[in-house]
Amino acid sequence: MIDIKDILTPFLTHHEADLANAGDPVLAHCDLAYSRWLLGDTPFATQAAVGQFLNLLESRELAGTIRPDAPKVNVHTTAYALGVLNLVDEDHAQDIADRLSSLDWQWEALIAPDTLIPRWPWKYTHHSWRVSHWIGGSASIVASLWRLAPATAEKIGLPQSAEVLSACDSLIDGRSGLFRTYKSDLLQKGFRSLYRLRHDPDAGDVGGIVHLHWVNHALGRVPYKAADALFDRAWNLMQKEPFMEKVPYCLDFDIVQIVRTANPEQARQPHVRKRAERYAADIIKFFRFGVDNSYSLHKLPGALATLHECAMITEDETVAGLTIAPRDVMLAAYWI
């Protein structure tokens, strides 16, 4: 039996040794932590590494905090970093809560107080995939703060996750189940025509709404708005083989995860299970022959998480290529 952990360990070891040269050290630390966890290990190799990661976060201006002279971390990566802390064992819970409480949280920078809808740059309002990082990422940050540092969340008057998610429902089209953050249909058509030159706009749309539904799924807010229509769109995209694009990465996880969670009954049907089996087999084949220096570290957690999603669809006791039970990364981390 192929153990992909043996195959991927040298890849991870190389990147761990080269962290000092990472373009975005917070992102790289997160990629390594998620990859380790999805392979069945603890997110950090040593206890001391947890403290070092917290030191790194304290040296940054995380999204939703104010530290003007520090390097800025965007909403996506902030949600990702808090997700890593959600994966850390309970022994570090108090230290994590204390460290997060020391930051100058200003949640109004993330979420409009009058509507409780996350803020995003309006220049991207036609780009649902980009916008979704602010919408879903802000909701994830709120959920993680209530989980990791509830006393701090209460002290700063942070809205409850359910309130933010309920507000975000207004951004979802009731027929398609996709984000509708734009005002002009004509401009949206123009954007999709340009976007199609590089990526599939339908995949971008589904890969956008999933960023919010990760948090809805994690907090039990199901079924999703227009769930059947959303499932149909995602299932249609899942017919692409072997992957959504040239190599497996987060977009594959987006599509497979929404197929599993938008309509769990349909996801158990034999034809969906067979597609999930092929998906997993193709990812393992890629890991055997395609992982080289051209494959970026940030792609790996998404590919690994897709394997876990496939195993949950097929209801296997262990993940293909691994000896561990499938892990629902959203229930554990609230983001990836």
pLDDT per residue as tens digits for the range 199-238: 788 998 999 999 999 999 999 999 999 999 999 999 999 9
In this predicted structure, which of 187-191, 246-250, 290-294 has the lowest mean pLDDT? 187-191
- Residue 18, pLDDT > 70, answer yes
Q: What is the pLDDT of residue 193?
A: 75
- Residue 198, pLDDT > 90, answer no
* Six token digits for residue 155: 């002290």
- Each residue of 197-212: b (16+ CB within 10 Å) or e? eeebbebbbbbbbbbb
Q: What is the pLDDT of residue 304?
A: 98
Q: What's the distance, CA 81 to chain centroid? A: 11
Q: What is the pLDDT of residue 1?
A: 63
Nearest to 255 by CA among 225, 290, 230: 230
Q: Per-residue pLDDT tens for 75-118?
A: 999 999 999 999 999 999 999 999 999 999 999 999 999 999 99
Q: Per-residue pLDDT tens for 239-260?
A: 999 999 999 999 999 999 999 9
Q: What is the pLDDT of residue 188?
A: 74
Q: Per-residue pLDDT tens for 37-82?
A: 999 999 999 999 999 999 999 999 999 999 999 999 999 999 999 9
Q: What is the pLDDT of residue 285?
A: 96
Burial of residue 294 (CB within 10 Å: 0-12, 13-18, 19+) is: exposed
Helix (H, G, I), strand (E, B) or coil at 72: strand
Give mean pLDDT, residues 150-161: 98
- Residue 336, pLDDT > 70, answer yes
Strands (E), the chain: none
Q: What is the pLDDT of residue 199?
A: 74
Give mean pLDDT, residues 259-263: 98
Distance CA 34, CA 228 (A): 30
- Give residue 54's domain range: 4-333
Q: How many domains in the chain? A: 1
Reported as a pLDDT band with limits 50, 70 and 90, residue 191 is: confident
- Is 2 or 326 the better-scoring residue by pLDDT? 326
- Residue 155, pLDDT > 80, answer yes
Q: What is the pLDDT of residue 269?
A: 98
Whole-Å CA distances, 39 to 48, 257, 293, 318: 21, 18, 20, 12
Q: How many Cα atoms are found within 13 Å in the side-chain-facing hemisphere of 294? A: 6
Compute the Cα dihedral for 26, 29, 32, 33 and give only its sign. Answer: negative
Reported as a pLDDT band with limits 50, 70 and 90, residue 311 is: very high
The mean predicted confidence, pLDDT, of the chain is 95
Which pTM value belongs to this model? 0.96
Reported as a pLDDT band with limits 50, 70 and 90, residue 166 is: very high
Which positions ≥6 away from 261 have C-beta within 8 Å?
A: 213, 217, 222, 224, 267
Report the CATH number that the domain containing residue 163 is assigned in CATH.
1.50.10
Q: What is the pLDDT of residue 21?
A: 85
Give mean pLDDT, residues 165-173: 97
CB 223 within 8 A of CB 262: yes
